[in-house]
Amino acid sequence: MFSHTVPPQVSVVPGPRALLEGDSDALAATCTASGSSPPATVRWESEVPGAQEEVTSHNANDTVTISSSFYLDPVRAMQGHRLTCLVNHSTFSRPSRLGYTLNIY
């Protein structure tokens, strides 16, 4: 088996719809580390309470994609607070940090 090291492509995308005050378990954002070998680690730092859900996909080229979604119960007091996605990989000298600012409607 051929062993190779491939750094991930990292991105953060907002959830599919606006965060409305009063909703429950709303998807705020998803952080993805795609196409890496070995797999990257993905986690969220947050100023607000929420839940993280991770999905791992194995790609045809022997790389791995990790997606971590952050869910919360939106309230107006969360407006302007930040989520930070931290991605670490053996090819990184330090974790990659991607920020996302919450907008609550």
**Which CATH topology does 9-102 take?**
Immunoglobulin-like (2.60.40)
What does residue 76 show for φ and ψ, rounded to 5 degrees? -55, -35
pLDDT the model gives residue 2: 43
Domain boundaries, the chain: 9-102
Predicted pLDDT of residue 84:
98
Least Cα distance to 32 among 74, 5, 62, 70 occurs for: 70
pLDDT, block means (10 residues), the chain with 105 residues: 81 96 97 97 97 97 97 97 98 96 96
35 conformational bin, left if phi > 0, alpha if psi -120 to 50, beta if neither: left
